[in-house]
Amino acid sequence: MHYAGRPKSDASANVPARVDMRSDTVTRPSDGMRAAMAAADVGDDVYGDDPTVNALQDKAAKLLGKEAALFVSSGTQSNLCAMLAHCQRGEEILTGHDYHVFIDEAGGASVLGGIMFAPIQTAADGGLDPDAISRTVKPDDEHCAISRLLTLENSWHGQAIPLERINAAARRAHDHGLIVHMDGARLMNACVKLGVSAAEMLAEVDSVSLCLSKGLGTPAGSVLAGSKAMIRKAHRARKLLGGGMRQIGVLAAAGVYALDHNIERLADDHANALRLAEALQGIPGLQVAPDEVQTNMVFVGVPEGSSAPLQTHLLERGIYINRDEPTIRLVTHLDCGADEVDLFVAEMKGFFA
């Protein structure tokens, strides 16, 4: 299991990166994005008068098929604002047992909102079984927390969960009176892979968080979208969490640029991930399944005890990976194309030779 906050080797701070496959969060803004940021018209977003932020929010809401959107600093803050907007203290969130809101966001809903989590076993494809949702919803009994929200995730560990799986889970949740939120950190990867628009993917979902700083390539930020009433509550939660920012049109401009230019190109990242998996498949000692690669992530099984020396070997050559064992997650992105993939594969062959 990959945890985003896992400590990195000290050497990573001193070696210039030639290839970085730790995550798609490491992308740097392109020249076009930097130019858009430099030219951004700005105001004070706390007063609601930053025109570039407002333009981003309107664009994102339309893209995601929702009434309104809110620009926030991170995906964690976006999901937390949603959970605080949807739930009260003593209520409960149903979610996948290894979804990010449960395992990778510091328990924020519980710590700051007094909201419980009820984890459900995640299926092999990342989806949730509707019957498992029904079994997890609590009865109307004073001994139980009040089941209020179901959170979904797409993509999940690089897998694009099919639309029918998302809709089945969301509809079952609605049958029980639950609200449905989507952690769409890499939503556009799933949409591009499946050939489905974001609005279609989210038709049965009440709110969604879309990260701009992963495959879409911005330096920071996410957008939260939902109904106008929900976004108003989320706006208050953002303030509570210290997320009120001022002239952030310079960051919002990067988001506008990303939505205009960097969605369709995610297919290139998916193709490079497949290229990577197919090339690694021939290296003795590695376990990789190209037919399981759907988006921009490749999971590689490595021999016991090899991950630490491998990381050191690669760092000395300016190649960054996370030190995980027995499975290393490799991620392709804007700054990791075919040339970087080929360089990485050559160094892996050298190490395992």
* DSSP secondary structure letters along 328-348: EEEE-BTTB-HHHHHHHHHHH
Residue 2's pLDDT is what? 44
Which residue type, as a one-letter code, is found at position 317?
Answer: R
Please give the backbone phi and psi of residue 228, each rounded to the nearest 5 degrees, phi first.
-60, -40
> Are 224 and 99 found together in one domain?
yes
CATH code, domain with 223: 3.40.640.10
Angle at the Cα of 182 from the Cα atoms of 179 and 183, rounded to 5 degrees: 135
| Domain membership flag for residue 273 | yes
Are residues 178 and 148 in contact, defined by beta-carbon separation less than 8 angstroms?
Answer: yes
* Same domain assignment for residues 270 and 257: no
Same domain for 169 and 61: yes
Final residue before a domain boundary, out of 227, 243, 261: 261
Helices marked H in the chain — which ranges?
31-38, 51-64, 75-86, 100-103, 108-113, 130-136, 163-175, 187-194, 198-201, 228-240, 249-261, 266-280, 307-315, 338-352
Range of the domain at 71: 40-261
One domain, residues 300 and 217: no
**Could you give the count of Cα atoms lying within 13 Å of 10 in the half-sphere of its Cβ?**
0
Peptide bond into 78 cis (omega under 30): no
Q: What is the pLDDT of residue 324?
A: 86
Same domain, 245 and 100: yes
Output the pLDDT for position 337.
95
Q: Do the Cβ atoms of 81 and 238 come closer than 8 Å? A: yes
pLDDT computed for residue 353 by the predictor:
82
Same domain, residue pair 184 and 283: no
pLDDT tens-digit profile, the chain (353 residues): 444 444 444 445 567 789 999 999 999 999 999 999 999 999 999 999 999 999 999 999 999 999 999 999 999 999 999 999 999 999 999 999 999 999 999 999 999 999 999 999 999 999 999 999 999 999 999 999 999 999 999 999 999 999 999 999 999 999 999 999 999 999 999 999 999 999 999 999 999 999 999 999 999 999 999 999 999 999 999 999 999 999 999 999 999 999 999 999 999 999 999 999 999 998 999 999 999 999 999 999 999 999 899 999 999 999 999 988 899 999 999 999 999 999 999 999 999 98
Are 56 and 256 spatial neighbours (Cβ–Cβ below 8 Å)? yes
- Cα–Cα distance measured from residue 135 to residue 181, given in angstroms and rounded to the nearest whole number: 19
pLDDT at position 187, please?
Answer: 98
pTM: predicted TM-score of the whole model, two decimal places:
0.93
Tokens of 217: 């390539």
For residue 96, what is the enclosing H or E element?
strand 91-96
Based on the fold, state whether residues 180 and 309 are members of the same structural domain.
no
Task: Give the domain-ending residue among 261, 276, 299.
Answer: 261
